[in-house]
Structure 1
């Protein structure tokens, strides 16, 4: 198997480093054998999903982080199944199409910025990497991949304070075209220095952060009664189709599908809130009406009945 290349992301780099010996195997079965001792280490990465799949996109190995994200107690429940069988349709089909490009065409997915929805319906940004695994003859036998969560706050890199103003400007003005040269000038660095230091601090390139800011804004605008074309304009896209392609590549579904998912999520949350309120009311202790109120309010009072009310 061809060994993966090292990457700058600390957690992802650690995972690839652990995988180096396994990646030297000459067959998929040898990779699986090597993972038996490596999996306990991969299970210690709570912000990194790891998976190994065969040529058909079926899971052969997964770490604990993926089972936790899917709400599965035993990883064996995922083995032999495809993404479309374990993820919601909107995401599963997209992941399967991505797997197909890697396993069938030998394509590499590298630092793909993606917005994932977790079981608690909270959205989280991550970088996904997928590599084809080839046997000694060069035939693709499967694929290996990781998806690592991006930090919600920048790491404690010494350049953070210097770059913060540029990052804030980029996010605030995401509707404008990206001008890396201007951002570099803001902090007194060359373009090459700026891009290198920016990636170390934020785990993203300036272009990836620009895309992230636009798509994040789009998920909020899609909750409003606007057409998809209007949402695209609000996020700085002059081409509606370009926005739709970027949104689907990042989120795994079309803007319209995401809007429908939002709508269903809001309905489910309202239904859950109503159910909780009804359960609370049903469990609340009952107490008798005050005598005067019971006499005037309860029509059974004059017939010897007893009237009650609940909070």
Structure 2
């Protein structure tokens, strides 16, 4: 199975901290064709391995000379767009499956027009508690993971029918052993040779517990403690940053280093975690829980809760209330 580059180009961008590359076929004794390069600038921030000097192209480190017409001395930059087009790059999904099998905290999947799994990586199989990939293929997400209220299937079908991708959506899901887990999900429509939507390709990055020994974690302690205090409606990240004496840029960088999330996503996750605990263990009204978790009104709380869990607070309580 193959997929054109336009359908999945954004997928690696949803994996911060992972270095992803596609290399062109080696030509001319280990060096790309001169035609694969341009002199008009730099595309993709990739410096060219060749420089032109006098009558020759030279690979500076190895001092390998290739004859070329004589131009004025200049530095050559890689034209990534034209190079990929010139070699007619098509990625094999089976190869992508092998790559994503090496990422233990990432669920990778390809689904057909009915949102049934066509391809998955090993992590998804493990989280579903099934034995093999063959057990997963042909099923929908609702058949693998616990469903409460609106389903993951409906979200998948929305992406397929609208053709609109979703990126870095903070989601709460329950693993096969019943544990609550957070992830960042991105889904992209896949088109066939005629340009018709044939399914979707997606990744869900499971968010691990932060490393409390990380040097940046200590710098975030005041910020995290501030978020844990009794919630205040309309509290702004900029206000907290000033209180803890961090610039917004520094706070953003530290949060991404430690949690892989933005400050706003961390605040939302902490609020919704608190809401889940209250729904599971108390009889407090939805309005009171919304206020306790920092929402000015229960309607805004219910919308954000449903966006993250695909169910209403009432549905969640009915499914997960502890005795």
Structure 1 partner of 2:235: 178
Contact 2:168 2:186 in 1 (8 A): yes
Q: In structure 2, what is the Cα distance between the partners aligned to 1:236 and 1:169?
A: 12
Structure 2 partner of 1:35: 93
Contact 1:9 1:203 in 2 (8 A): no
Q: In structure 2, what is the Cα distance between the partners aligned to 1:89 and 1:187?
A: 40
Note if 1:102 corresponds to 2:159.
yes
Q: Tell me: CA distance 1:197–1:9, structure 2 relative to 1, closer, same or farther (3 Å).
A: farther
Structure number with larger C-alpha Rg = 1
Structure 1 partner of 2:28: none
Q: In structure 1, what is the Cα distance between the partners aligned to 2:292 and 2:22?
A: 43
For residue 311 of structure 2, the aligned residue among 250, 253, 257 is 253
Q: Write the deviation string for residues 130-188 of structure 1: whole angstroms up to 9, x where unpaired.
A: 11123455432221111111121247655333233223212335444332222322454
Contact 2:146 2:176 in 1 (8 A): no
TM-score (norm 2): 0.69
Q: In structure 2, what is the Cα distance between the partners aligned to 1:49 and 1:232?
A: 31
TM-score (norm 1): 0.72
Q: In structure 2, what is the Cα distance between the partners aligned to 1:5 and 1:87?
A: 23
**Greater mean deviation of Cα atoms: 128-137 or 151-160:** 151-160
Note if 1:149 corresponds to 2:206.
yes
Note if 1:220 corresponds to 2:277.
yes
Report the aligned-residue RMSD.
2.8
Q: In structure 1, what is the Cα distance between the partners aligned to 2:121 and 2:215?
A: 33
For residue 61 of structure 1, the aligned residue among 119, 122, 125 is 119
Structure 2 partner of 1:286: none
**Structure with greater strand share of residues:** 2
Alignment gaps of 5+ in structure 1 = 268-311
**Structure with greater helix share of residues:** 1
Structure 2 partner of 1:295: none
Alignment gaps of 5+ in structure 2 = 25-83
Q: Write the deviation string for residues 47-81 of structure 1: whole angstroms up to 9, x where unpaired.
A: 11111112221111011111111111121122122
Structure 1 partner of 2:60: none
